Amino acid sequence: MPRLDALSLIAVLLFSMLSAPMALGAQAAGAADERFVIRGARVFDGERSRGAMDVLVRDGRIAALGIGLQVPSGTMEVDGRGKTLLPGLIDSHTHVYGDALRTALAFGVTTELDQFTDVAMARSVKERQAKGGLADVADLFSAGTLVTSPKGHGTEYGMVIPTISTPQEAQPFVDARLAEGSEWIKIVYDNGRAYGLTIPTIDRATLKAVVDAAHARGKLAVVHIGDQQAAREAIEAGADGLVHLFVDRAPDADLAQLVGRHHAFVIPTLTVSESVTGSASGTSLVADAALARWIDPAAAANLQRGFSKRPGSMARYAFTEDATLALHAARVPLLAGTDAPNPGTWQGVSMHRELELLVHAGLTPIEALTAATSAPAKYFRLTDRGRIAPGLRADLLLVSGDPVANILATREVVSVWKRGVRMDRDAYRIWVSQQRASTTEAPREAQDGLVSDFEQDQPMARLGSGWVVTTDQFIGGKSVGTIRVAPDGAAGSAKSLLVEGTVNAGSIATWSGAMLLTGKTPMQPADFSARKTLRFWARGDGKTYSVMLFSQRHGPQPMTRTFTAGAEWKEFVFALADFDGFDGKDLQGLAFTSASAPGSFEFRLDDVRLK
């Protein structure tokens, strides 16, 4: 599938850093409640519905289940009557950045299977996870860095990642990924043709060699595809699973049988397929009263975005749905995955749309729920979760109503437990309410349009909450940067803002620069609709830089233009409307960042105005 471009990804990370409810792991990890019993809930155990019964949890694991369980005195009781207890949901296709794991948990997703993220971040999370920490966020398992060709999908995000060109490189390449911490191998085999794109991809021989190399080390090999021919060739190469379905044409009559004969599984990612074909998949989630108060403004904006269809695109959602039905009829294992946070999706909440779409494609509610619980646990070899059974982890989701009868009941979340620890969803809801209450009042200062002239000793701004350094370090990156007021200003003025640093490879996105937070608090929107232009002076080392505008309605995708900072001072003038037609109503920030290849950089800003 088409993915977030490099600047979109940087925006997701910036949003996570500046507007997340709490940094990952910042809360005390907490300890599993020593013992509690959930009384009288209908139980879907990950494979079948078992009717109303009691479930006893002790030390973070399922201790027993049955009707009328006798428990020690003093055991805390949870009333499950009229409700349904399910295993915590497992999203089989995500991309984890920032606060994604906490957001996922709030919607009942207790485990995320990440298909490409920063390896340093993933390693850090998994180390804390292994020690029993991070009880307030979903668990993470990750493919780490994907396998792709030079200039292939995965290289467009503005960071340097290793690539592969020949079958002879396969085994050392796979071994290097495993050494970094990859828990399975994800391979990109997609030339972009289905979406009207032309993207380099590995050849068929290299695909086969990488699959064989993963199997030689006892690891799964899953393949990202975009068209049906690639899907067929991936299965014939021995792939254990497809992490998307195709959108380019109706399924061939023999395709499902081919997948079945090879004992492969498929993650259809119907939510992102819907968005790719022009319909923002998350729109109905934002409108759902059961979910709306848990969806923050940035999430709501992204859920209501779709991909732009390009000339030559063959993408039709009906092809994906038809393929899902054919695979299901052939008893091919289907796993629920969302591909969040692509346009039309968001962490956690989109799993509820994926379940709905699986049922619409022909699965029963029990089969869809299995695809989100025991099936991913089985096929990704997570033997301690995915079912409600004695000895397994108490990763649990309690919902009102009965999703076995109506799959939409999963949206009525009552409580979520991870390893027996109940998430404080009230705190999360309060944070969402605070974000929604943020006003977009017009700034009262700087009526002449001046934001900063940098004539003071510190980088002051006449509006908003000030200038900050932004780099990739908070996601484990190695880029560095500083901002300071220095002599030499534009148009004969005394001072300017010196922005300098080094962009270093080593994280999934690399950047460094300066950011102005235009609201009274970080990422709070402010109304600049009376202003029509952004004006600033710049000079520097001759490199290209990005200016990015952040808007609440645009979600994590920034509106971006570039400029070149030459040796002499030059004034740059951009109409706000030049940034994707932006009207200025909910401006959250401006970022000026390095947009060049890794290396040192230096540029100056002066006389920044919004007029």
For the chain, the residue count is: 611
pLDDT (tens digit, 9 = 90+) per residue, 202-251? 999 999 999 999 999 999 999 999 999 999 999 999 999 999 999 999 99
Task: State the CATH class of domain 450-610.
Answer: mainly beta
Asked whether 38 and 25 are in contact (CB, 8 A), the reply is no
Which pLDDT score is estimated for 525?
82
DSSP tag of 455? -
Virtual torsion, Cα 225, 371, 272, 195, nearest 10 deg:
20
Q: What gap in Å lies between CA 2 and CA 153, rounded to an integer?
A: 8
Exposed e or buried b for every residue in 554-591, given b needs 16+ CB within 10 A? bbbbbbbbebbbeeebeeeeeebeebeebebbbbbbbb
Which pLDDT score is estimated for 442?
60
Q: What does residue 396 show for φ and ψ, rounded to 5 degrees?
A: -135, 150
pLDDT (tens digit, 9 = 90+) per residue, 249-282? 999 999 999 999 999 999 999 999 999 988 899 9
Which pLDDT score is estimated for 441?
60
Task: Tell me which residues of the chain have a pLDDT lower than 50.
Answer: 2-31, 446
What proportions of the chain, in percent to the nearest 5, are helix, strand and coil? 25, 25, 45
Which pLDDT score is estimated for 555?
67
Which residues lie below 8 Å from residue 31, measured CB to CB, with a gap of 6+? Answer: 135, 421
Q: What gap in Å lies between CA 343 and CA 305, rounded to an integer?
A: 5
From the list 2, 175, 17, 30, the residue with the least C-alpha distance to 97 is: 17
Question: How many other β-carbons are positioned within 10 Å of the β-carbon of residue 28?
Answer: 9
Virtual torsion, Cα 473, 476, 478, 482, nearest 10 deg:
10
Q: What gap in Å lies between CA 262 and CA 333, rounded to an integer?
A: 12
Asked whether 84 and 404 are in contact (CB, 8 A), the reply is yes
- The domain locations on the chain are 6-433, 450-610
This model's pTM is above 0.85: no
Q: What residue type is 147 in one-letter code?
A: V
Asked whether 409 and 399 are in contact (CB, 8 A), the reply is yes
Alpha-helical (H) ranges within 297-449 are 297-303, 317-329, 350-360, 365-371, 374-379, 425-437
Which residues lie below 8 Å from residue 444, measured CB to CB, with a gap of 6+? Answer: none
Which pLDDT score is estimated for 439?
55
Dihedral of CA 507/509/515/518: which sign? negative
Question: How many other β-carbons are positioned within 10 Å of the β-carbon of residue 553?
Answer: 16
Q: Distances in Å between the alpha carbon of 291 and those of 165, 283, 336?
A: 45, 12, 19
According to CATH, the topology of domain 6-433 is TIM Barrel (3.20.20)
Radius of gyration of the chain (CA): 25
Which pLDDT score is estimated for 159?
63
Orientation angle between helical segments 228-236 and 204-216, nearest 10 degrees: 40
**Do 6-433 and 450-610 come out as alike in CATH topology?**
no
* DSSP strand pairing (76-79 vs 139-142): unpaired
CA atoms within 13 A on the CB side of 297: 21
